Structure formats: C-alpha cells, structure tokens
Amino acid sequence: MATAPPSRSRDLDKLLLRPGHLVVPNFEPGPELRDDIKEYVKVLVVGAGGLGCELLKDLALSGFQNLDVIDMDRIEVTNLNRQFLFRLEDVGKPKAEVAAKRVMERVSGVNITSHFCRIEDKPLDFYSDFSIIVLGLDSIEARSYINAIACGFLEYDSDDNPREETVKPMVDGGTEGFKGHARIIVPGMTPCFECTIWLFPPQVKFPLCTLAETPRTAAHCIEYAHLIKWDEVHSGKTFDPDNPEHMQWVYSEALKRAELFGIQGVTYSLTQGVVKNIIPAIASTNAIISAACALETLKMVSGCSRTLSNYLTYNGVEGLHTKVTEFVRDKDCLVCGPGVLIELDTSITLRKFIDLLEGHPGLLLSRVSVTHRGKNLYMQAPPVLEEMTRSNLDLPLFDLMDKVPKDIVHVNGMAGKGDKKQSCLRKLRVVFKGIDVVAVEDMVLGASF
Ligand SMILES: [Zn+2]
C-alpha cells in the first residue's frame, strides 16, 4: 500500500503551526491561521514581468490562494529568457492573463484573477479590497502611484496616530541587472515610497565636455555620436531610438570616434544599450528579490516572524553582498502624513477649491479630480463622468461634503512644473472655518453607538 504523500504545506507548517523566538507579540500559531491565510487573505501583485512572474509563483507556493495580478503589457519575444511563465506561442498576449493561467495550471487550489489594464484605470475601491499589495515594477512613476493609493487609505486619529484598520501594507521589490532591493512599506509606521524618493537619483549623464574632449570609454564615444554629432549633422531632425537607421548611424559614428581615440568595445548592441539606457535583466536577481518579497508578505500577514526593518539591498555584481537599512519616515511627507491641511470658508465652490490647489505652493496640482468618501465630486475623465460631475463645480464644497466640518478629500491630478509633471494622488485634510469641530465630532460619535 502506498504511503500518503507528504503535505504540500509541510514547510509552511513549520512557520505557522508553532511558536518561536522571532514571532510578533500577538502571534497565534495553529491550523486556523494557515486556513485563514488561504481563505481570507487577498494579495494584489502589481506587474507580471520578470519579478511579477516570480512573485505569483512564490506566493502561490507559500499558501496564498486568493491572488490578483495587474499589468498593462503584452508578452514580447525578448521577455522569454526570464519571464518563465511565458512561451513562444504566448507572444502578443497580455502578460497578466497568461501568468495567472500558468500558475493556476501548476499550483492546485490557487485562484488568480488577472487585470489587463493600466493601474490608473482601476477605481480606488479596487485597491482597498486587498489585505496587502506586492509590487514587481520597474518604474518609479508606477510605484509612486500605488504608494499614494495605499497611503491614501490611511486615516489618523485626533492625536495624529494612524488608525490600524486603515493601514494598507505594501511589499516592494525591484531589480536592475545584478542589483536589487526588497522593502516593506507600512503606511504611517515605516517610510513610504515618497519619504525616500531620493533613493532614486536622476539618471547619471556624462558631462558634455568629457564627451567632446576626453572620451575614455566606449560609452563616451556612443554618447558623443548620439548627443553631439547627431545634432551637428542632422540639424532639426529628432533622433528616434526605435529607428534602426538612426541607431546604425550613431553606431558607425561612435566607431569612428573610438578609433580616433584608440578606444575598444563599441558594438551595435552596446550602442543600443547606452542610447536606450537598457540595463540587462538577470533572472537570478529576480528570483532572489521575489523570494524575499514573498517571505515578507507571509510574515506581514501571519505574524510568524518580525518583518524586515525595513529595506534590504542585494548586490551580486562582485561576489554577493546583502544589507538591511532602517530608513526613517519623513514626518512632513505629503503622501503618508496626515495630509495637507487646507482651511476653507463654507461658501467656497468646488471650482474655486480646484483653482486653489493649482496655486498651492506645496501641491502645484493641475487637471484635478476630486473624491470624497468614495463619491466623485468632480472627474476630469472619462468624458461621461466629467459631464455627470460638471454641475458640481458651482456648488459649495461644504454642501458637497454633506456639511462635515473636517474630513479627508482625495484629489487626483498632475503634479509638478513644466515637462516634469506626473500623475499623482494627494490626500488633503479639509477644515471649514467657523464650525465647531469638537461639538460635531461628539455628535457623530454619539450617533454611531
Ligand atoms: Zn511618506
């Protein structure tokens, strides 16, 4: 007679069914915990690329059964070397859909819902549904956007302490060649993405004088051909990195320059890499970072161990080096703080309020949409919603907010100046002048009991 196969959750059980030195204070080990994670915890994975594929597989194998994945991209041939859930016949299909299908085929019991769209296309309550959000993204803008959404759910009590039930935790992974990071973001407790935005310095560019006078590397020669020589020869014509003829021209000019200075190493693919700023993606880095992220996710929802505090870096360029750094919150952060305080007269209209946000020095918002407690007060897009909400513009904001003297309002728009604008979400604390806040708060509290 055959013996029963070992339980698939054998390793997981070691973490969830027994106590240990590293568990969080209110950790209650037992089969209920394991079953609750299966049944009730909903995880959103943002991105189904190199990291996303790994994350879905790791989370499914870690006992999570309710997963969602969102990604706007379609599969390309060049993804196949590392985005291991995809096959040649999948090229052209949405990444999210194929990734979800493949993991469900391989891991029984797991349920993955895919969303083939932009993260901005989902309403806020889509995101509020998840217990935890795991990010496998390669763009700063997308991270910033999700961070603002998760932090937007955070509410503070009257002593400015975060209300625990409004905390939406995130785990963020990122890789670049042989380097990577995994971090946890618990809004209101650990620094959010925006608190430490300086960790992503602007792209390093070579000084033009080096390119023009003293090139020392193949990259210098390529950038010379790309940034200086192109404009000299093609006055007014914009360089198009996706045009093979343009790239070929830069390559041959870079070669000539390299010969002149006796520099080796200019190739066509290096030319593409330098001009398009391509950093090769490494499958093993994705696997390591994803494993760290999946483990942090499990720790965060189960309490079976204390989490990272709070930022792990991995460097596999020469040998291997990992380190954890505890970053601190920016207490004036516009995103995870209690929100920018805006004091208004009760007579101010929604239109005037929106104008005020455009001129506010700390916000500089344009194309503003306004939401209050899930209700759209004014939406810039789509046109149907714009038309439906347009009549609100001339109504007093105080009335639109049901005459609540003090509340959180979410605004969505473009922030920044000139061509540096990017879409963002901001939380504002709107307070109406001349209303007795304390008396009304007591009244509201009284009513809820
Ligand atoms: Zn912050």
Distance 20 CA to ligand 1 centre (A): 32
Q: Express each pLDDT in 112-154 by its tens digit.
A: 999 999 999 998 889 999 999 999 998 888 999 999 999 989 9
Structure-token pair, residue 262: 């006796």
Whole-model pTM?
0.77
Q: Is 333 a catalytic residue?
A: no
* CATH 3.40.50.720, the chain: domain bounds: 10-201+282-325
State the Cα–Cα distance between residues 190 and 187, nearest whole angstrom.
6
CATH fold for domain 10-201+282-325: Rossmann fold (3.40.50)
State the Cα–Cα distance between residues 45 and 171, nearest whole angstrom.
10
What number of residues does the chain have? 449
Q: Which region holds residue 322: left if phi is over 0, alpha if psi is between -120 and 50, else beta?
A: beta
Distance 362 CA to ligand 1 centre (A): 15
Residue 273 is predicted with a pLDDT of 87
* CATH 1.10.10.520, the chain: domain bounds: 208-276
What residue spans of 107-243 are helical by DSSP H?
124-128, 140-152, 208-213, 218-223, 230-233
Q: Express each pLDDT in 342-366 by its tens digit.
A: 999 999 999 999 999 988 887 888 8
Distance 418 CA to ligand 1 centre (A): 24
Residues 6+ apart with CB under 8 A from 208: 227, 228
Residue 321 is predicted with a pLDDT of 96
Which residue is associated with the tokens 């949405």? 94
Which residue is associated with the tokens 């994705």? 286
Amino acid found at 49: G
State the Cα–Cα distance between residues 156 and 293, nearest whole angstrom.
27
Q: Is the dihedral of CA 108, 113, 114, 120 positive or negative?
A: negative
* CATH 3.10.290.20, the chain: domain bounds: 340-448
Distance 57 CA to ligand 1 centre (A): 30
SS3 for 250?
A: helix
Kindly name the residue from 209, 333, 336, 424 that is annotated as catalytic.
209
Largest CA distance in the chain: 83
Distance 331 CA to ligand 1 centre (A): 7
CATH fold for domain 340-448: 3.10.290
Ranges of residues in the chain with a pLDDT under 70 are 1-6, 201-205, 417-420, 436-449
Residue 328 is predicted with a pLDDT of 93
For 208-276, CATH gives: 1.10.10.520
Residue 443 is predicted with a pLDDT of 45
Residue 5 is predicted with a pLDDT of 64
What residue spans of 333-413 are helical by DSSP H?
350-359, 383-390, 397-400
Distance 145 CA to ligand 1 centre (A): 12
Structure-token pair, residue 19: 């106590």
